[in-house]
Chain A
Amino acid sequence: MKELRLMKGNEAIAEGAIRAGADGYFGYPITPQSEIMEYLMAEKPKERTGMVVLQAESETASINMVYGGAGCGKRVMTSSSSPGISLMQEGLSYMAGAELPCLVVNVVRGGPGLGTIQPSQADYFQTVKGGGHGDYKLITLAPASVQEMYDFVSLGFELAFKYRNPCMILSDGVIGQMMEKVEIGDQEPRWSDAYIREHHPWSTLGKTPDRPHNIITSLELESSRQEKVNLKIQAKYRILETEEVRYEMIDCEDADYVFVAYGSSARICQKAMELGREKGIKIGLLRPITLYPFPVKVLHDLAGKTKGMLVVEMSAGQMIEDVKLAVECRVHVEHYGRFGGIIPSPSEVLHALENQIIGG
């Protein structure tokens, strides 16, 4: 019998972390994601699995604790919301440079600045275009349900370790706060030191006589060697872009028009599609699940088969840039968005399609 629970998205992240066999969580409270650490603390994961949970003095400290844990080959994570994620950018850049795997959850709220605690998708650029300094990418998963919040914890760790790169779950206040049914998986074991030494021999668990000392660093002062570091990292990204693209396509086969949306916007678009189809407008939905790597090819192919695309985001228009790059002007693309914490209604999204694409 599968274990089913009614949970908030934030709680699903926390339970997912314990069940995935995570070794550590380091975080700092911020709305709308504080339930993640609260749930972890209440669950006493030290007793359940030995997982370490620590409230840090800041997001800066959190991400650097994650760096330290990841350097030891441990499955460690943090979570925050937009302003806190901004504080982590230096650390994320260091982790990408040092090729360290970790999981970071951003339950996005409206900005800029202190902004609002209401949901938003305005951190897309920060997440997929680098955010911190230097040429690097975050593997980015965009859950659209509480179940995906749960599932993407173990998927995120898997991808992070496979590519030795930080992975971000880019969620928002809607998915973090809403409650849905979740199918809970079995308890995965935490990795033993012996397992880590065998599978992640780069980790700093303590030198053994059979290998030189391990060094975790992102520093390479000599330019020609630093260029090699960059080339190696870029080569990883090229593999990611061919192997790890994930998306969901709904009713696109016969669609004249396509919504492109991720996360909670995709849920709203699903309802708008139904409303449209009731009126006889054939609409499909392309939901990117990985925002990086972005589903470029599928969008490119779809562009030749549809009359127009509406990119729906709770932002002033960020993902639309990647959609436009993907379709290479082969189809009319428009953006519809609300921001500052406003969630668009399905009928307003349908109107936008009718006005901007069908009538436009």
Chain B
Amino acid sequence: MTTTPETTDPSGSSGTSLAAADFANDRASASLGEAFRDWRDRIRGGDMGALPAVLGLIVLAIVFSILRPQTFTSELNIANLLTQAASISVLAMGLIPVLLLGDIDLSAGVAGGMSAGFTAVAIDRSGQHWTLAVLIGLAVGALVGLVIGLLVSRLGIPSFVVTLAFFLGLQGVTLRLIGMGGTVPVRDEVLRAITIKSMPVLAGWIVVVGLLAAYGALMVVRQRRLAQRNLQRPPNALLAVKFASLAVIVLAFTAVLSQNRSRSAALEIAGIPYAVFIVIALLVFWTFVFGRTAYGRHMYAIGGNREAARRAGINVTRLRISAFVICSMMAAISGIISSSYTGSVAPGSGGGNTLLYAVGAAVIGGTSLFGGKGLIRDGVIGGLVIATIDNGLGLLNQAAYINYIITGSVLLLAASVDAISRRRRSATGT
């Protein structure tokens, strides 16, 4: 950081050409070494991004592979793990807009359970088509989000309190809908297929390769445009390394999931579970909205400095409402995925540790509980971490109390990392 006072000739700016030092970092392409140094400085300054989550994922994978070599790395378990991660990730992605604004939605889990309940009831008791039933579930979610948003942003009740009230109240609604001790089965073939069926192997390969190609092409186009205008850009080599590692991981998983993982000889199960594609679609969509549109930019601005956003003419009230609507609708999708996995909706669906897992996923992924910082992908990466812990501990057959203690500790650890890195950021100002 430069703090030297500027020395300008009294004639002002007229005719002065830019010296080499002006915006030095904005011109031309940085070298790989420089990019690495920048990255290291950012991490030291407290901006760790997804690094802790990725490292955690690697450590967890190694530990569980050693402890349960037969089961943890089996094709069946990997497919299972990804399916488990799907509902957590979707809920976590939905929470991120709310967290960006510095708010919280404690009712998201049970809102998802309730929405899934409405969807299941519409099919099972009223014989509706699954499409209409899903729309009903989404509408219920949207309505919940709208009411929460209005209470928070118009009445000014802290989101913590409003959503705690909804956490209790919505469970009551689900109980009334389904009945004490009852469950509503999810038998619809399409909804069940989300988690128990997989895309045919060939189609899966085509989609995966197509997505990777599109992502790579996007990178190239962006880099070209930056180069054309001679603007700051990451080194080509760095992009190549990033893309190559992503491609290797994705293709390796596709290869593993393309194996037959059925335990009986009579039946073949292979391919990527459909739930994974739902997660990818939502990830791409929301990443675009929050990264590339003015709406997304304004959400970050509100999280960073609400008053500044207001003075910039941003409708803070409306955007806060929208965050809760997005959250509850994503919760509805998450609830439906979850009900597809378990095959039923019960009054307790979406309760228990559902919300804690999702908040944990977002925070582990790198989203700050203090607002203003976070990416949609945090929900997916963090969701994988949480699902891996849950899945691995399940394979270890530990007593339930150990799972609770470990998962609680992981959430606390992630929140500590968040708080410490925030302190560092304000100390070093990066």
Task: Tell me if chain B binds chain A.
Answer: no
Using CB atoms and an 8 Å cutoff, list the residues of chain B in contact with chain A.
none
Using CB atoms and an 8 Å cutoff, list the residues of chain A in contact with chain B.
none
